[in-house]
Every structure is written in structure tokens, then in C-alpha cells.
Amino acid sequence: MHQHGPSDFTKSKKTLAKPNIRNIVVVDGVRIPFLQSGTSYKDLMPHDLARAALSGLLHRTNVPKDVVDYIIFGTVIQEVKTSNVAREAALGAGFSDKTPAHTVTMACISANQAMTTGVGLIASGQCDVVVAGGVELMSDVPIRHSRKMRKMMLDLNKAKTLGQRLSLLSKFRLNFLSPELPAVAEFSTSETMGHSADRLAAAFAVSRADQDEYALRSHSLAKKAQDEGLLSDIVPFKVPGKDTVTKDNGIRPSSLEQMAKLKPAFIKPYGTVTAANSSFLTDGASAMLIMAEEKALAMGYKPKAYLRDFVYVSQDPKDQLLLGPTYATPKVLEKAGLTLNDIDAFEFHEAFSGQILANFKAMDSDWFAQNYMGRKTKVGSPPLEKFNNWGGSLSLGHPFGATGCRLVMAAANRLRKEGGQYGLVAACAAGGQGHAMIVEAYPK
């Protein structure tokens, strides 16, 4: 099924292999279906989801458990009982208890950080085989007692006499009981991400209609990909006490008329970001087997893709919170020696329609490049026909810690399916950070 795709364009470089640096490959990657939070996964714990992804990866790749040198997982909202969720999941998934595991966190690019940490371990010769993944369970989040209540409870623990205890208890006030909820808000600015996205859309004059239209595109493409069975990274998950989950449940192509009826969700009453053009709270997990190329070949694998150059960027968390892709894309292209035209498959994380469209406008603006990025010219915006062709976070869902692996696998699988050579993965993250990586198809 060799198609004549956009890859026939003459590339700036034949390959991104570098002398004296190990080639690092993705053997394969999987994810459990991404579900809207509060649905089938709601009674599970995060490491349960991570376990399912790991088991799925074992099943898909048949990798002997004892060859795995290291396991890294990304997660954002941590379950306090399993703060090193990578270790708990690995043990529960039957990996060798001799394989160390650690957990990383970098907001929406946590899984990307897990993967690139693995790349670093392999490139420096510390490891040959790494499993990287990510997990998020938004159905259950740690809701805490207030600081005052916590303080009183801790002091009570230390109190020795009844008198001390009573005197502590006498300080109790009813407002101590009001709980603390984790918010999807920036710690530094206290602004929720949706609010920032709405301001970003306004700053770039992205209209409500354009945002709705883009969201509809994401859902329609995801539906098509789902129907055509293209989302092959999914592994079914038999949820204890429930039916086996086999597909994502957030894909809901609607009509522009229906979407136009929704009220703004953040900047009321006149904002443009709504529930329909934002990514939704999602439960899910992903995992990926990364190896040094020679190791993979020695073990008889046919890898799917190379993981090539990558960058992390960061900028103002207030006004440029979601512009990570704009900053990261030209940087990673330059680093790899490619141009935007060399890229056959773009996989960008879609936090909000408005965020994606604002990034397009920023990437297409010389003024922005010159005044904010210190560049002479714009990088240009990705052509839509190569962009998130199998849906994106808006439609497939966005379990914060797990999305990174989905993006890389989507790029790798699309390159195989559509016949391209280079894929570009990019994402924004809370804290005003961003990431981009070049994925190169493994020659068939």
C-alpha cells in the first residue's frame, strides 16, 4: 500500500541520523481508549490505567520483561497514594521488580518528557530499552482538607494531654471544613487555562465561528479515523466489573448550528471559548517501547519510527501560556535542518480550538516572529491537509499526562499509512512551556 503522498517532495535531508549518535527507535506504542472523565474508568485508580497500558504494550510487542532497563511515566494531577505511579503500575503489570521506574511531571507535555528522558538514557548509553508512557485520571482528583484543618489535625497528632487536645479543638471553626480543590489554573497567575485561551484567541482575533469550525473538523476527522480503524494504537481494556472498553468515547461530531448555541465557558458573557471548542476532562493512559536501533534489530523487531531532534521552550505564563508550538516548531526544524515543507505529518496537541488557530496566526506572522521570538521571519503555519488528520485532543480527548505518546504514535502511524518521512509533534503546556519533536518514519 505504497501511496504517492506528499513525501515525494524533495527533502532537505535524506535522514536525520547523526554520526556517532545512537539511533533511537519506537518499536511500538499503545494506549487504552481515552474516555471522558466520570465514565467507565471512574472507579479505578491512576495506576490501574497505567497498568492496562503497560499490559497492552507487553501484549502488542511481546517484549521479554527482563530486557526492559527502565520505565518512565508522566502524570500531572498526582494521586498521593501512588506518587511514583510508574513504579506502582510496573509492579502491577508484572514487569520485573528489578526494573527501576520513575515518574515525571511537566503538565500537558509530561509524556513527552517521559519519552525524551528515555531518549536521553539510551543516547548516553545508560540504557538500551526503555518504556515511556503517561497516565491521567480526572474522574478522581485529590481534594484536600483546608490548610487550617490539616494543621489542626497534625497538631492533634502531636498533642499529648487531653487539655492540649481540647484547647486545639476549641480553635476549630466551621470554615476549616471547606475543601481545597485542584484547579486547572496557573499557580503563578491564578488564571484558568480556558480563560487564558479565550484571551489568546481574542489577542489574535480568532472568531468564535472559526473556533467552532476547527473543533468540528477535529471531531469529524476523529470519527472518520475511528470508523476506518486507523486508531490502531488503541488496546482494549477490560475494566473490572464493567464491559471491555474498545474505543474513545469523546468523539461527537455535531453541527455548527448546535455548537453556536453554547454559551462561553470562561469569559462570560461575551467570550469565544465554549465547551464544544475545548478539550474535555479525560481519563486515559499510554505506553511506548523505545530502544536503541541496534538492540531492536538484534531482537528481531521492525521498528515504527525514529525519535529525532526535540526541543523544550518556555515563555510568559500569563499572556503566552499556550503558544508553545509557535516557539518550539521553528526551533526544532532549525535544529534538525528541515523546513516546514519537509514535514509530512503534523501532530499538534489541541488544547482549545482558539489555541490552535492562535498558534497558526502567530506562526504565520513576521511581526510576531520579530517582536517576540527574536527571529527574522515567520516559520509559516502548517498546511491544514497535513495537520492532525486523525483527530486531536479536542475530539479524542486529553488525559494530561498521556497525550504526548498518543501524538508520537499518531505521527508514526500516519507516516506509515500516508507514506511520508518526517512528522512534527508539538504541544503547549501549563506554565507557559512547550515542546516539539521530529519523528522520522522507519524505512520499510
CB 416 within 8 A of CB 297: no
Name the residue nearer to another protein (CB basis): 204 or 442.
204
Which residue shows C-alpha cell 482528583? Answer: 141
Q: Which stretch binds another protein (CB under 8 A): 49-57, 127-135, 197-205, 396-404?
A: 197-205
CB of 70 to another protein, least distance (A): 35
187 lies in the site for another protein, by CB under 8 A = yes
Distance CA 133, CA 151 (A): 36
Q: Which stretch binds another protein (CB under 8 A): 132-140, 275-283, 311-319, 382-390?
A: 311-319
Name the residue nearer to another protein (CB basis): 272 or 282.
272
Is 398 part of the annotated catalytic residue set?
yes
Q: Which stretch binds another protein (CB under 8 A): 129-137, 142-150, 161-169, 312-320?
A: 312-320
Distance CA 441, CA 53 (A): 23
Distance CA 339, CA 263 (A): 40
CB 139 within 8 A of CB 38: yes
Name the residue nearer to another protein (CB basis): 12 or 207.
207
210 lies in the site for another protein, by CB under 8 A = no
318 lies in the site for another protein, by CB under 8 A = yes
Is 428 part of the annotated catalytic residue set?
yes
270 lies in the site for another protein, by CB under 8 A = yes
Name the residue nearer to another protein (CB basis): 136 or 186.
186
CB of 271 to another protein, least distance (A): 9
Marked catalytic residue, from 127, 219, 405, 428: 428
CB of 204 to another protein, least distance (A): 4
208 lies in the site for another protein, by CB under 8 A = no
58 lies in the site for another protein, by CB under 8 A = no
Number of residues this chain uses to bind another protein (CB under 8 A): 26
Q: What are the residues whose beta carbons fall under 8 Å from the beta carbon of 43, sequence distance 6 or more? A: 139, 241
Name the residue nearer to another protein (CB basis): 10 or 367.
367
320 lies in the site for another protein, by CB under 8 A = yes
CB of 371 to another protein, least distance (A): 7
Is 405 part of the annotated catalytic residue set?
no
Binds another protein (CB under 8 A): choice among 10, 161, 175, 190: 190
Marked catalytic residue, from 127, 398, 405, 435: 398
Site for another protein in 341-380 (CB under 8 A): 358, 361-362, 365, 367-368, 371-372
CB of 365 to another protein, least distance (A): 5
CB of 436 to another protein, least distance (A): 20
Residues lying near another protein in the complex (CB under 8 A) are found at: 187-190, 195, 198-200, 202-205, 267, 270, 316, 318-320, 358, 361-362, 365, 367-368, 371-372
The catalytic residues are: 108, 398, 428
